[in-house]
């Protein structure tokens, strides 16, 4: 029996934790963009919060499943990385939290796929 790696679990959790402050970066820039276009700012902030929350939930669930069910866990970590990339685009590539989370989630997904 081969030993399964904890790397996907650890990097997925750290990536999810790094996405939490990234939520606020994305929400603030989304609200500012909405205000700049003549809106009230609520719509952009809500979209930023939803994208961030979905990414955090996917990263935590994917990290939890990465050791036992590597294919599903890795797929969820890739999904979380996609939401981190969307947040990175919304923050105009200035959020260091999204950069770090994106890199960690991709590396964690690779190691989760190795645990199949």
**What are 42-98's pLDDT values in tens digits?**
777 788 889 999 999 999 999 999 989 999 999 999 999 999 999 999 888 988 999
Query: Using one digit for the tens of pLDDT, what is the confidence trace for 90-101?
Result: 888 988 999 999
3-state secondary structure of 69: coil
- Alpha-carbon distance of 36 to 111, in angstroms, equals 42
**pLDDT for res 116:** 75
Q: Which residue's entry shows tokens 């991709």?
A: 106
| Rounded Cα distance, 110 and 106, in Å | 6
pLDDT in tens, 10-27: 999 999 999 999 998 888
Residue 1 has pLDDT above 60, yes or no: no
């Amino acid at each position: 029996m081969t030993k399964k790696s904890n790397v996907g679990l650890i990097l997925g959790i750290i990536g999810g934790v790094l996405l939490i402050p990234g939520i606020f970066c994305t929400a603030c820039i989304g609200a500012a963009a909405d205000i700049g276009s003549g809106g009230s700012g609520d719509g952009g902030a809500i979209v930023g919060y939803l994208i961030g929350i979905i990414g955090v939930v996917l990263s935590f669930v994917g990290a939890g499943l990465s050791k036992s069910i590597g294919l599903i866990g890795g797929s969820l970590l890739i999904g979380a990385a996609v939401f981190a990339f969307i947040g990175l685009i919304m923050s105009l590539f200035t959020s260091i939290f999204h950069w770090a989370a994106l890199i960690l989630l991709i590396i964690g997904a690779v190691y989760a796929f190795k645990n199949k």
